[in-house]
């Protein structure tokens, strides 16, 4: 017996430690027990996952056909009771209720007499129950029971090992999936490629037919990136709709749904959120778990857990890729900017080499169209014509068919390869005239795109200049738009990107400046030419004046003898008898003289009045000269004269006219003060915004001018007995304004009147000369008339 037992133990150890699968080992163990204990049937009931039922797992008779499947709920029958008590039980058929409680076992052994059950369990866990059935009455001895218990313990150990191993395997499988995913995610930092990998890998590891990913901007709701792989059923909800309404399940957030398509097939979808730092938020979704028999399966909790774990990895990978992309974009943009700035700097240096507008326009167009420059297909410069308020084509050019190989500065100086005729192009500066006019009016650039027609932005490029897309930037100098630059890529069809628009803007401000400089330069040149012309004309009129003065002198010399001839002829005719033939002769003389006198009158008395008597005069002397003339009136009225004369530069004026002004003012003062008073005359220099003036005030103490008169004192048709002649002040005002001066009146009722006259000092009169008040007039002096 002992050797028997030893053999059993040896065999048991061999079975349980063999290298076959745990199922096989369990099976062999059941058979070994049957053989060793010499029972008809040995069975193993395993506790299912719910831990509520024990089901027949292994039979010593071999595979279990479906109709032989037997199970016991926990606590029912000997099997169920053993599982609860974890104690060996042996039951005989004849014992009461033995059959009814264990009836299902009849199926397996219709006439068993002995039923023995013992637990397969370790200290804390029950795995199942071993059952032995035999047709004879058996009372298992202590040694047999011991063997059974030992077998149970060892089986439990083996089963635990099996479970642990199974779990380890699963863990390894999961880890290897995640490893795969990780490998896929770390293989690239290119965002597009990464997203493709994410969706394809996700679909593969979950064994889904399709997968999709979308990342949106939380603030704007705009899709940042998205990627799809495999079959995505149309009946499933869109990615955006899955969140932010999280599923109401506990545990990590996820979204699960199923929907039926038109063919009656059920589709499944499982989604988990991708949570990023900052603005972004995404969804990762898998569709329809794949199975070999063309039926789609729902996703199980393990799939869900895996997807959630993967989501974490994916978020990291995408964040890395996004950062990388940003850094790369930044670097690229910087590089382009440096390149653009270099180009702009080179162009602006070349632009500074000329002030000729035509040349500048050519260089600007070269800069716009050269491959080495800004590289647009076509460029046009239009300038604002202030007078007609239109934008007029100045020059246009197309990119050369054969790109120049020269360096940029040299290429800029070469002649335009292909000009675009734009001279007849006129756009009125009104808001309804399209982007070009608007660029000037609003002083901002426009990016015109045919498919993005802004309201009120008609395409206005005429005929062959029509373009589907163009940039127009204003040329702005000192906050004033002087023109526009228009560029397009119509010929090649390349799209215009917003970055060149910035560069173009910078270029335009440079171009605007040099064009304005050129314009100013040409204006100065034109002004110089005009000045020269005026100077020539003045010299010419000087000559004419001299000639006319000579003619006038001669004419005067003729007049005196004519008067004598005519006068004596008249006397003779009175003395000659009416019948005398002399009478006729004398009358001829008389008539001829009259005719000549008439001719002289027409020539002299008319033209003579137009001669002016301009010269450089000392104003104080003119005042003193005039005072002499009114001295009689002043004395007669007992008027005291107070003079406050400051030294003044010489005044370029018609001295006779200026004296007339003073004469009129002094006469008026005399009339205003018939019973005596004070006439105060002051002169002083006066600095105004537009230069130096000589100021003269004439103040009387005549009690002032009545208000109703004051308004009319300069009116030539107004006269009053009380004050002046009326015409006098009107003449004075006319003379002063002819000298580009002003006459003002300051009336103090009850006291008197002050007239203020300001006369501009010609620039050349200010040039000081040693010992003299001022140098005489230069060559610019106005023509002189006759002399007294």
Partner 1 sequence: MKKILVADDEMSIRLLYSEELKEEGYEVYLAANGREALEIVEKIPLDLVILDIKMPEMDGIEALRQIKERRPDLPVLLSTAYGEYRQDFATWASDEYLVKSSDLEDLKAMVKRYLKE
Residues that bind partner 1 (CB under 8 A): 556, 559-571, 590, 593-594, 597, 601, 604-605, 608-609, 611, 629, 632, 656, 659-660, 663, 786, 788
CB of 196 or CB of 625, closer to partner 1 = 625
CB of 542 or CB of 597, closer to partner 1 = 597
Q: How many C-alpha atoms does 167 have within 13 Å on its Cβ side?
A: 5
CB 722, min distance to partner 1, A: 23
The SS3 call for residue 327 is helix
The DSSP letter of residue 649 is -
The DSSP letter of residue 433 is G
CB of 416 or CB of 600, closer to partner 1 = 600
CB 669, min distance to partner 1, A: 16
Residues near 3 by beta carbon (within 8 Å), at least 6 away in sequence: none
CB of 9 or CB of 604, closer to partner 1 = 604
User: In this structure, is the dihedral angle defined by the CA atoms of residues 367, 368, 369 and 372, taken in order, positive or negative?
Assistant: positive
Q: Strand pairing of 71-73 and 53-59?
A: antiparallel
CB of 3 or CB of 560, closer to partner 1 = 560
CB 554, min distance to partner 1, A: 12
Q: Phi first, then psi: what are they for 80, rounded to 5°?
A: -65, -40
Per-residue b/e over 153-192, b at no fewer than 16 CB within 10 Å?
Answer: bbbbebbeebeeeeeeeeeeeeeebbeebbebbeebbebe
CB 606, min distance to partner 1, A: 8
Residues near 594 by beta carbon (within 8 Å), at least 6 away in sequence: 566
CB of 561 or CB of 676, closer to partner 1 = 561
Separation of alpha carbons 472 and 445, rounded Å: 6
CB 426, min distance to partner 1, A: 54
CB of 660 or CB of 719, closer to partner 1 = 660
Q: Is the peptide bond before 244 cis (omega within 30 degrees of 0)?
A: yes
Helices assigned H by DSSP within 292-371: 301-351, 357-369
The DSSP letter of residue 463 is G
CB of 190 or CB of 592, closer to partner 1 = 592
CB 699, min distance to partner 1, A: 22
Separation of alpha carbons 140 and 304, rounded Å: 51
Q: Tokens at residue 503, please?
A: 């560069």
CB 694, min distance to partner 1, A: 20
CB 618, min distance to partner 1, A: 17
End-to-end CA separation in angstroms for the chain: 176
CB of 68 or CB of 554, closer to partner 1 = 554
Between CA 315 and CA 318, with CA 316 as vertex, the angle to 5 degrees is 65
The SS3 call for residue 69 is coil
Separation of alpha carbons 212 and 230, rounded Å: 9
CB 784, min distance to partner 1, A: 13
CB of 548 or CB of 758, closer to partner 1 = 548
CB 479, min distance to partner 1, A: 52
């Amino acid at each position: 017996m002992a050797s028997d037992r030893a053999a059993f133990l040896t065999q048991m150890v061999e079975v349980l430690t063999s290298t076959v699968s745990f199922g096989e080992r369990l099976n062999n163990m059941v058979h070994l027990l049957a053989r060793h204990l010499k029972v008809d049937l040995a069975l193993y009931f395993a506790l299912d996952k719910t831990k509520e039922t024990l089901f027949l797992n292994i039979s010593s008779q071999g595979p279990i056909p479906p109709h032989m499947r037997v199970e016991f709920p926990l606590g029912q029958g000997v099997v169920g009771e053993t599982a609860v008590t974890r104690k060996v039980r042996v039951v005989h058929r004849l014992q009461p209720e033995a059959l009814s409680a264990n009836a299902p076992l009849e199926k397996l052994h219709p006439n068993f007499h002995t039923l023995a059950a013992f637990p397969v369990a370790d200290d804390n866990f029950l795995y199942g129950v071993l059952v032995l059935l035999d047709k004879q009455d058996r009372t298992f001895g202590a040694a047999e029971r011991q063997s059974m218990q030992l077998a149970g313990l060892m089986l439990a150990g083996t089963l635990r090992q099996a479970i642990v191993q199974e779990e380890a395997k699963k863990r390894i499988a999961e880890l290897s999936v995640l490893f795969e995913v990780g490998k896929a995610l770390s293989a690239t930092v290119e965002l597009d490629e990464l997203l493709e990998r994410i969706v394809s890998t996700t679909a593969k590891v979950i064994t889904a037919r399709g997968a999709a990913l979308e990342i949106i901007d939380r603030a704007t709701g705009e899709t940042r990136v998205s990627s799809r792989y495999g079959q995505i059923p149309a009946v499933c909800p869109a990615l955006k709709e899955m969140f932010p309404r999280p599923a109401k399940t506990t545990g990590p957030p996820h979204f699960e749904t199923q929907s039926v398509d038109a063919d009656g097939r059920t589709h499944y979808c499982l989604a988990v959120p991708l949570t990023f730092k900052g603005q972004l938020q995404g969804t990762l979704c898998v569709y329809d778990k794949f199975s070999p028999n063309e039926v789609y399966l729902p996703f199980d909790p393990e799939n869900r857990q895996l997807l959630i774990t993967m989501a974490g990895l994916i978020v990291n990978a995408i964040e890395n890729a996004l950062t990388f992309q940003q850094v790369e974009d930044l670097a690229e943009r910087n590089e382009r900017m440096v390149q653009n700035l270099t180009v702009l700097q080179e162009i602006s240096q070349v632009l500074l080499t000329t002030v000729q507008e035509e040349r500048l326009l050519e260089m600007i167009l070269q800069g716009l169209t050269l491959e080495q420059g800004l590289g647009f297909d076509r460029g046009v410069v239009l300038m604002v014509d202030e007078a007609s308020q239109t934008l007029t084509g100045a020059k246009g050019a197309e990119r050369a068919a054969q790109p120049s190989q020269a360096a940029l500065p040299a290429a800029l100086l070469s002649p335009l390869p292909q000009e675009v005729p734009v001279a007849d192009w006129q756009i009125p500066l009104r808001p309804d005239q399209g982007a070009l006019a608007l660029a000037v009016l609003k002083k901002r650039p426009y990016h015109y795109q045919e498919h993005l027609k802004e309201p009120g932005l008609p395409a206005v490029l005429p005929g062959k200049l029509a373009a589907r897309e163009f940039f127009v930037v204003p040329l702005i100098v000192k906050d004033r738009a002087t023109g526009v630059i228009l560029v397009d890529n119509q010929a090649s069809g390349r799209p215009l990107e917003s970055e060149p628009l910035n560069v173009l803007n910078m270029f335009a401000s440079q171009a605007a400046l040099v064009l304005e400089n050129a314009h100013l330069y040409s204006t100065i040149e034109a002004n110089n030419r005009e000045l020269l012309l005026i100077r020539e004309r003045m010299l010419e009129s000087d000559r004419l004046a001299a000639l006319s003065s000579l003619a006038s002198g001669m004419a005067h010399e003729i007049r005196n003898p004519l008067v004598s001839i005519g006068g004596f002829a008249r006397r003779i005719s009175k003395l000659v008898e009416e019948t005398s033939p002399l009478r006729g002769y004398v009358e001829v003389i008389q008539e001829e003289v009259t005719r000549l006198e008439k001719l002289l009158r027409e020539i002299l008395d008319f033209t003579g009045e137009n001669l002016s008597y301009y010269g450089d005069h000392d104003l104080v002397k003119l005042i003193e000269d005039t005072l002499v003339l009114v001295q009689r009136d002043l004395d007669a009225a007992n008027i005291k004269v107070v003079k406050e004369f400051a030294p003044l530069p010489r005044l370029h004026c018609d001295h006779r006219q200026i004296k007339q002004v003073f004469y009129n003012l002094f006469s008026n003062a005399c009339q205003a003060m018939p019973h005596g008073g004070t006439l105060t005359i002051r002169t002083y220099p006066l600095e105004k915004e537009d230069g130096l003036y000589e100021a003269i005030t004439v103040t009387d103490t005549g009690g002032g001018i009545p208000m109703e008169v004051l308004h009319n004192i300069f009116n030539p048709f107004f006269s009053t007995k009380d004050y002046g002649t009326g015409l006098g002040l009107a003449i004075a005002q006319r003379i002063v304004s002819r000298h580009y001066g002003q006459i003002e009146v300051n009336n103090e009722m009850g006291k008197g009147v002050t007239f203020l006259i300001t006369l501009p000092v010609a620039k050349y009169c200010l040039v000081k000369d040693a010992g003299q008040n001022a140098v005489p007039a230069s060559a610019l002096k106005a023509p002189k008339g006759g002399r007294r």
